[in-house]
Amino acid sequence: MTQSYISFTIIDDKGERASRQVYIPNTVTLAQATTFAAALMAAVGPLLDGKLDAVSVTFALPVPTIVTSGASDVQEMARFAFTTAENFVSAITIPTVIETIFQAGSKLVDLTDTAVDTFLSLLLDGDGVVQPVDAHGDDLDGIDSAREAWGKYR
């Protein structure tokens, strides 16, 4: 089972970064983790000659059981690129994709595939509470491209 943790990144005067994790119980709430992270940063700060650059909380969530074909390969991917409100492109690459999501005889993802449409709708429209954004906090506005991609070891 994956463990929840608080991660903090420290930057030195040369601009180099180092990240560390403090593991926390999987049963804590976001409010509890945020409070603990603030206390942790207040305790770590006086120990540093560098500066705190980033702090994040990662929660371990239960993962549904998925039956695979037995031939999955993390090198076989689909890359979904999105346009953002600020006219940037933000992408996510999904490994071990099934071959049936690609258009026949093509490297392009079939955007009419039901599973693909569900995935894209969730990323573009959210779930009514959470609206996904890019790394800069900009809304994902549309799909720029969706195609086959290969891992770095191919």
Judgement on whether residues 82 and 36 belong to the same structural domain of the protein? no
Which has more pLDDT, 88 or 1?
88
Judgement on whether residues 135 and 103 belong to the same structural domain of the protein? yes
- Single pTM value for the model: 0.75
SS3 87: coil
Judgement on whether residues 89 and 119 belong to the same structural domain of the protein? yes
Judgement on whether residues 28 and 94 belong to the same structural domain of the protein? no
What is the per-residue pLDDT across 18-42, written as a single tens digit (0 to 9) for each? 999 999 999 999 999 999 999 999 9
Look at residue 120 and tell me if it is in a domain: yes
What is the per-residue pLDDT across 139-151, written as a single tens digit (0 to 9) for each? 999 999 999 998 6
Report the alpha-carbon distance of residue 136 to residue 153 in Å, rounded: 29
Look at residue 133 and tell me if it is in a domain: yes
pLDDT for residue 152: 65
Judgement on whether residues 53 and 105 belong to the same structural domain of the protein? no
Judgement on whether residues 45 and 82 belong to the same structural domain of the protein? no
Judgement on whether residues 53 and 119 belong to the same structural domain of the protein? no
Report the alpha-carbon distance of residue 74 to residue 94 in Å, rounded: 9
Judgement on whether residues 111 and 143 belong to the same structural domain of the protein? yes
Is residue 89 over pLDDT 60?
Answer: yes
What is the per-residue pLDDT across 100-111, written as a single tens digit (0 to 9) for each? 999 999 999 999
Is residue 56 over pLDDT 80?
Answer: yes
Judgement on whether residues 82 and 145 belong to the same structural domain of the protein? yes
Residues in Cβ contact with 122 at an 8 Å cutoff, skipping those fewer than 6 apart:
132
Judgement on whether residues 146 and 88 belong to the same structural domain of the protein? yes
Report the alpha-carbon distance of residue 51 to residue 90 in Å, rounded: 29
**Number of folded domains in the chain?**
2
> Which residue range forms the structural domain that includes residue 140?
76-150
What are the angstrom distances between the C-alpha of 62 and each of 7, 21, 54, 109?
20, 20, 26, 28
Judgement on whether residues 54 and 81 belong to the same structural domain of the protein? no
Look at residue 64 and tell me if it is in a domain: no
Judgement on whether residues 53 and 110 belong to the same structural domain of the protein? no
